[in-house]
Amino acid sequence: MVAALLLTSCSGSQSALDTGGPAARRIAGLWWGLFAVATAVVLVVVFLVVWALVLRRGPDVRPRRGGERVVLIAGAVVPTLILIGTYVATLGVMGANREPPQPAELTVEVVGHDWWWEVRYPDFLTANEIHIPVGRAVHVQLRTADVVHSFWVPSLTSKRDLIPNQDNDLWLLADEAGEYRGQCAEFCGAQHAGMAFLVVAQPAAEFDAWLADQAAPARTPTDAVAARGQQVFESASCASCHTIRGTTADGVVGPNLTHFGSRQYLGAGAAPNDPGWLGGWIANSQTVKPGNLMPPQPLAPEDLTALIAYLETLE
Amino acid sequence: MTTLEERKAAEAAVGEQLEPIWEESGGLRGWFTTVDHKKIGRRYMVTAGLFFTVAGLEAVVMRTQLARAQLDVVSPDLYNQLFTLHGTTMIFFFATPMLFGFGNYLFPLMLGARDMAFPRLNAFGYWAFASAGLLMTSSLLFGAAPNGGWFAYVPLNEEQYLPGAGMDVYSLGLLLLGISTTVGGINFIVTALTMRAPGMSLNRVPVFVWALVVTSFMVVFALPPLNVANLMLFLDRRYGFHFFDPSAGGDPILWQHLFWLFGHPDVYIIVLPALGIVSAIVPTFSRRPIAAYPLIVLATIGTGVISFGVWVHHMFATGLPQLSLSFFSAASLIVTIPSGIQYFSWLMTIVLGRLVVRTPMLWILGFLVVFVAGGVTGVMFAVVPFDQQTTDSYFIVAHFHYVLFGGAVFPIVAGIYYWFGKFTGRMLSEKLGRWSFWLVFVGFNATFFPMHVVGLLGMPRRNYTYQSGLGWDGLNLVETIGAYVLTVGLALTLFNIARALRSGPAAPENPWGGDTLEWATASPPQDYNFPVVPTVHSLHPMWDEKTLATMVRDEDDPERTLTDGKQALRTSDLDGVPEHVVELPEETVVPLVTAGGLFVATLALVLGAPVVAASGGLLTVVGLVVWHWPRAARQEAQEAQEAQA
C-alpha cells in the first residue's frame, strides 16, 4: 500500500523520485533499497508484537525466561551486517555522484539573496531561472549575498547549502528536456517559502539561441506606450534597485531585469509572469509575497500601465 | 511470606515517629518552600504538561495553515514564530523536564531512598526551569517570540536580519534553562551513585535509573557547547561582537558545529529516559524480568557515548570534505546498533513472557510499532547522498516525529497511565485510556506518515505555505485531519486525568504487580517514602521475598528506620554498602529566591536593563550565600557539642 501511494503520487516537477538526471536517479535507487530493508525491519517488529499478542499465555502459564542469545544475534549481529551493506552502498553512490560523467564545460554562478536567486552566466546576469543544455553537465558555483540558503532541485540532484564566505558547488545534468522546479531548503527568514526557481533543460541548439538572446542588451521599445514605460522605469525608483542593460537603469539590489519578459514567474516563483500579476506586484508586492524587500510603488495608473507594457517587451 | 498487612503494621509503628520530622508546611507557604522530591517531581510534570499543551496547539495552528495551498490563516512571520516556539518548547521545555519530573519523583522511590541527594538544588532546578519556560512561552503574547528556528542558524539570527527581542528570549531563556538542566543532571548522578538502598549493587539498579543517569552524564557534557553558543549569539546581537558575523570574519559554520554537538546528543537525552520508562513497564506486563539486562544497560551507556560522535550528519549539505562525511556516516550507522539491542530486549521479553495488555502496556505496544519506523528512517540519514537529498524536507519532519513523538510521547503517556496511581493515589480510567490510545495512534500516523511522501516529492520544511499542483495538496490535507484526530486523542487523556483527580478510584500500593521498589510505598507515598529502608536482594525487589521481608524485619533497627532526624542513608557507589547517615535539609525559600534572581537578571537583559540585571544577579549571589551558610555553622555547632560530650 505504501509503495502504491508513493508511486501514484510522484509526478510533480519537484519530486526526488521523478528523476531527470543520473545523480538524482542513483539517489532514488538508493532510496528504494533503503525502503525495502526498512520495510523488512518494521515488519519483523510488527510480527513479533502481533505474535506476542496472539500467544498471550493464560494466567496459569509460567512465563519463559532467557532470550539473551536472541537479543544479541537479532539486536546486534544482524543489524551490524545490514549496516555494513548500507555503508558500502553509501560510499558507492557518494563516489559515483562526486563528479559528472563528462567534465562540465559551462560554469554558472548562483547567488542566494533574501528571497530570490541571482544567476550569473559568463556573459550576463539573470534571476530565478537557470537554463542548461540537455545531456551536458553544468558546473554550478553557490554563493550567498546574505544568510544561509540551500540550493535544491530534487529531480536533478541533492541539495547543497549556500554559506557566507564559503565556496560551495555542485553539478547539474539533465538527460531529458524539461523543467525542473527547485526551492530554497534552508530556513532563511520571512519568505523562505517564496524562494523557488526553475531549471530549464533545453536541446543544445535551443540553449545556444537562449544564451545569445540573453547576452544581448534590452531592445529599445518601438511603440509609444512601452517607450513611456522605459522612461518611468529609468526615472522612478525602479532603476535604483534593478538593472536593465541598454538603459540607464543600473541598480544592483534586486534582480537584473534585462530579459524579464522571457521569465515564467515573478518574485522567485511567487506568481506567473503575466500583466495582471505584474501590475499587482509593482503596485504592492507585499500582498503577493509578504515581507519581501521591494517596497510598494505608488505610480500613476497610466505610468503603471506603460511600465507593465515595457517590462513585457523585454524578452 | 511477608504480607502487605505485616508491612502496613511495621509502617504504622515507625511512621508515627517519622511523620512529624518529615512533614512540610502546607498551603501557600509550602508551595514556595518545599524540597520534597515528590512534590517537585509532580510540579515538573504538570508544568511540562502545560508547555506541551501550548506547543501542541501551536502545531495545530500550523497544520491548519498548511491544510490547503496558499492559505492565509497566519502571517509568514507569525508562522515562523510558531514553528520556532513549537520546536524549542517541545525539545527544551517539554520532553526533558517531563522526563526529569518522572525521574525526580521515581528516583528515590526506585532506589529505596528518602529523597534526592540535593533536595534544595532540586527545588532550585524546578524554579529556574519554570521561569525560563514562562519567559519563552509568554513571549508569543507580546509578539516577541523567537522566529529564527529552534536551531537558530547564523547569520540569519544576527540582529541585522532578525531584529527585535525574539532571539534574545531564545538565547537567554535557554541559558537559564541550561542551568536548571545541568543541576538536575548532577543531582540524578549523585543520587543514583550514593543514595541507593543497602544491597542495591549496580547490577540491581532498575533500567529506568540507568537510562536517566546516562542521560544526566550526557546533559553535563552536551550542554556546555550550547550554552557557549547562546552566550556568543547574545553578545553578537546585543554587544556588537562578531563571533558568527561573516562580514567581520566570523564563522557561521562554527554555530552549526556547536549547536549540533549539543543537538544530536540531545536527541538521545530526550529518548533514553523515555526508553527507560519502556524498560520499566515491559517486564511488569510480561510477568518476567527484562531479557538481557546487562546488554540493555550496556546498550544505554553505548548510545550515550557514541551519540557524541555523530553530530555532523546534521551538516551533510554544508559542503564538508567527503572524507569527513564518510567518517560521520559510519558513526551515525553504528549508533543504531545499541538501539537494536534494546528493541530485541523488549521484544523477547514480551514474546517469552505472559503478556497482559492493560492501558500502559497498550501505549508501549504502540511505541514499539511507531518508534521502529523512526529508527529505520534514522539510519537513512546516515546515508550521505540520501541525507543530502531529503534533509530539510518534510521527510525529516516525518522521521523525527516518529522518533520523538513515537519514542518519547508514547512512553511518557504510558508512564502517566502506569504511575498515575502512585503519583496521585487515584487510578485512571482504562476505557478512556484505550480510546485515547487508538485516536492518538491513528491520528499520529495520519499526521506524520504522509510527510515522508511529501518530503520525497520535494516539499521543503519550515514553509508557511506552498504552491498547488506539485502533488502535495491531498497529502497535506490528510496530515491536517490527522493532527485534529491526534489532538482529540491527547485531550481525552487530559480529560481522563482531570476526571480521575476528582473522582477516580483509590489506587492500591501495587496495582500492576510491578517489580521495582516504588511499588512498596503507599499510593501516594508518605513524606518519608519508606518507613523501613529496604535491604535489596535482587533486581526485582518486589518479586523477591527476601527484600520484602527486610521491610518488616528491620522495623526496630535504627540504622534502617533513621528516626533521629530528617535523615537518609549514604551507601557505597558500586555495591550499595551502607556507609553513614546523612542529614537532609529542611524546607526553605532560598532556592526560589536564588532562581528568582536569575529570572530577574534574564528578563532584564532581554529588555535591555543592565542595572536591574545586575541586581537580579546580586540577589542570586545573596541566595547562594545564605544557602551555604547556616548548614556549615550548624555542623560546627554539632561537632563542638560532640567534642564536649
Check B460 against A185: CB less than 8 A apart.
yes
pLDDT at site B642? 73
Best A41, A42, A49 residue to mutate vs chain B (most B CBs within 10 Å): A49
A–B interface: beta-carbon pairs under 8 A = 280
Does residue A142 carry a pLDDT above 50? yes
Does residue A194 carry a pLDDT above 90? yes
Looking at per-residue pLDDT, the higher value among B16 and B480 belongs to B480
Does residue B67 carry a pLDDT above 80? yes
Render B283-324 in DSSP notation, one character per residue. Answer: HHHHTSPPTTHHHHHHHHHHHHHHGGG-GGGG-TTS---HHH
- Model confidence pLDDT, tens digit, residues A201-214: 999 999 999 999 99
Check A83 against B348: CB less than 8 A apart.
no
Q: If you count DSSP H runs as helices and E runs as strands, how many of each does chain B have, helices first? A: 22, 2
Query: Rounded to an integer, what is the distance from CA B537 to the centroid of its chain?
Result: 30
Does residue A94 carry a pLDDT above 50? yes
User: CB contact, 8 Å: B389 with chain A?
Assistant: yes
* C-beta of residue B545 within 8 angstroms of C-beta of residue B1: yes
* C-beta of residue B364 within 8 angstroms of C-beta of residue B411: yes
Residue A52 with chain B: CB contacts under 8 Å: 347, 350-351, 353, 355
Does residue B641 carry a pLDDT above 90? no
pLDDT at site B645? 66
Does residue A4 carry a pLDDT above 60? no
The alpha-carbon gap from B155 to the nearest alpha carbon of chain A, in Å, equals 5
Mean pLDDT of all residues in B58-69: 98
> For residue B235, what are the CA distances in angstroms to B167, B229, B230?
12, 10, 9
The alpha-carbon gap from A121 to the nearest alpha carbon of chain B, in Å, equals 22
Does residue B397 carry a pLDDT above 90? yes
ipTM strictly over 0.90?
A: yes
Q: Please, which pLDDT band fits residue B304 given cuts at 50, 70 and 90? A: very high
Mean pLDDT of all residues in B609-617: 96
pLDDT at site B8? 83
Rounded CA separation A159/A164 (Å): 16
For A142, phi then psi, to 5°, come to -115, 120
Query: Rounded to an integer, what is the distance from CA A171 to the centroid of its chain?
Result: 13
Give rounded-to-5 percent helix, strand, coil for chain A.
40, 20, 40
Rounded CA separation A154/A14 (Å): 6
Angle CA(A32)–CA(A38)–CA(A40) in degrees, nearest 5? 105
- Among chain B residues, the shortest Cα distance to A89 is held by B383
Mean pLDDT of all residues in B539-554: 93
Residue A184 with chain B: CB contacts under 8 Å: 460
Does residue A6 carry a pLDDT above 80? no
pLDDT at site A8? 43
pLDDT at site A9? 40
Interface of B with A in 276-305 (CB under 8 A): 286-289, 291-292, 295-296
Check A74 against B344: CB less than 8 A apart.
yes
Q: Please, which pLDDT band fits residue A10 given cuts at 50, 70 and 90? A: very low
* C-beta of residue B99 within 8 angstroms of C-beta of residue B415: no
Does residue B376 carry a pLDDT above 70? yes
**Sign of the alpha-carbon dihedral angle for A8, A9, A13, A19:** negative
- Among chain A residues, the shortest Cα distance to B394 is held by A185
Does residue B10 carry a pLDDT above 60? yes
Tell me the average pLDDT of chain B.
Answer: 95
User: CB contact, 8 Å: B254 with chain A?
Assistant: no
> For residue B477, what are the CA distances in angstroms to A14, B459, B474, B490, B529?
19, 14, 5, 20, 50
The alpha-carbon gap from A228 to the nearest alpha carbon of chain B, in Å, equals 35
What pTM was estimated for this model as a whole?
Answer: 0.95
Check A161 against B336: CB less than 8 A apart.
no
Residue B242 with chain A: CB contacts under 8 Å: none
Residue B353 with chain A: CB contacts under 8 Å: 52, 57, 63-64
Rounded CA separation B377/B458 (Å): 17
pLDDT at site A62? 78
* C-beta of residue B288 within 8 angstroms of C-beta of residue A67: no
pLDDT at site A60? 75
pLDDT at site B632? 61
The share of chain B scoring above pLDDT 90, in percent, equals 93
pLDDT at site A58? 76
pLDDT at site B621? 97
Mean pLDDT of all residues in B396-413: 98
- To 10 degrees, the CA torsion angle through A224, A228, A233, A234? 110
Quick one: B141 exposed, middle or buried, by C-beta within 10 A (0-12, 13-18, 19+)? exposed
Does residue A71 carry a pLDDT above 70? yes
